[in-house]
Amino acid sequence: MNAADKIFIENCKEILQNGVWDNEYDVRPRWEDGTPAHTIKKFGIVNRYNLEESFPILTLRKTNFKAAVDELLWIWQKKSNNVNDLDSHIWDSWADGTGSIGKAYGYQLGIKHKYKEGEFNQVDRVIYDLKNNPYSRRILTNIYNFEDLHEMHLYPCAYSMTFNVSGNKLNAILNQRSQDMLAANNWNVVQYSILVHMMAQISGLEAGELVHVIADAHIYDRHVPIIEELIKNKSFDAPKIEVDKNITDFYDFKVDSFKLIDYKFNPVKIKVPIAV
C-alpha cells in the first residue's frame, strides 16, 4: 500500500474510532439545506510524507491533480483573492459579487513587508532566503493576519509554511488549523508537496520531507458513510512526479509544468457535499 493511502486510512480510522462528536454544540457550518453540519474530530494529527520516495496522492480515489495545482498557483504565484483568476469553482461559495474572497489567502502573500535587505512579499522573501541564506531558521510564511480577519470571507485553513534546509534537501511543515478529511486532506497534501518541489528546484535543492500538522482533523456527519466505503478501496502504487527541469524562475511554473506518471486510482464517482 502506498504511503499516502496508508496515512489517510489510518487518520480516518483513528477519527472514526476515537474521535469526539460536536453534536451537543451550536456549530457554524451548514449544509445547503440549512441543517447544521456536525463533525467527529481528532485534535493534533501529524503526518510525514517523504517526497524523495513517492508523490503523496491518493489512489483510493482520484484527486484532481490539475485543479489542485491551479489553486496553489492562484494563491502563491498570482497572489489572488478573486475567483475569476481561478480555473475551478471551488471557492465560489465564499466569493462576493465581484469574485473576491476578501483579504484572504493570496492577498496576504502579496503584501510587502520591510526587511533590512529591502521590501519583499512573503513568497519572494522565501525565495530570497532559500537562494541567499538557505540555512536560516526563519524561512516561513503566515497568512493568518489577525488585523484582516474581519475582512476575510473564510479564515485561512492552511495558514503557514515553514521551510528548512538539511544538506541539499528542502523540507517543510504545513500548519493547518482545520481540515475536512474527505474534501480537502489529500488536496492540500498534493498542493504543498508541489510547492516544496517548486521551491527546491528554483533553489538548486532536492525535495525532502513534508510534515503536515492538523489541529482539528474532522469528518462531517454526512461524509462518514462515504469515508467508511472509501477506505475499503484497493490501493495502487504511487505515481511518479515529473517537473519541467527547464524552469528556474518560480513565476514561470504552469499547471502543465507538472505531470503524474502512471497515476492509477479507483474509478469511483463520489459526490462530496460541502458544508459552508
To which residue does cell 451550536 refer?
A: 26
Q: Which residues are known binding-site members?
A: 64, 137-138, 177-180, 188, 218-220, 275
**Mind listing the pLDDT tens digit for each residue in 230-265?**
999 999 999 999 999 999 999 999 999 999 999 999
Q: Given a cut of 90, is residue 104 above it in pLDDT?
A: yes
Task: Please list, in sequence order, all residues whose beta carbon lies within 8 angstroms of the beta carbon of residue 97, skipping any fewer than 6 positions away.
Answer: none
pLDDT tens string 62-85: 999 999 999 999 999 999 999 999
Mean pLDDT of 45-59: 97
CA atoms of 107 and 152, how far apart (whole Å): 10
Band of pLDDT at residue 274, cut at 50, 70 and 90: confident
Which domains are assigned to the chain? 43-218+239-261 (3.30.572.10)
**Looking at the predicted structure, is the pLDDT value of residue 273 above 90?**
no
* Mean pLDDT on 91-103: 95
pLDDT at 270 over 90: no
208: three-class secondary structure by DSSP? strand
Q: Judge whether 157 counts as a catalytic residue.
A: yes
Average pLDDT over residues 106-133: 97
What pLDDT was estimated at residue 162?
98
The beta strand positions in 94-205, using DSSP E, are 112-115, 118-121, 140-142, 158-166, 169-180
**Alpha carbon distances (Å) from 92 to 73, 81, 82, 88, 260:** 17, 11, 10, 9, 27
Structure confidence at residue 26 as a pLDDT band (50, 70, 90) = very high
Q: pTM for the whole thing? A: 0.96
Select which of 1, 90, 157, 247 is catalytic.
Answer: 157
Is residue 159 very low, low, confident or very high in pLDDT (cuts 50, 70, 90)?
A: very high
Between CA 148 and CA 146 the distance in angstroms is 5
Which pLDDT does position 268 carry in this prediction? 83
What does pLDDT average to over the chain? 96
What is residue 116's predicted lDDT score, i.e. its pLDDT?
Answer: 94
145/224 Cα distance (integer angstroms): 33
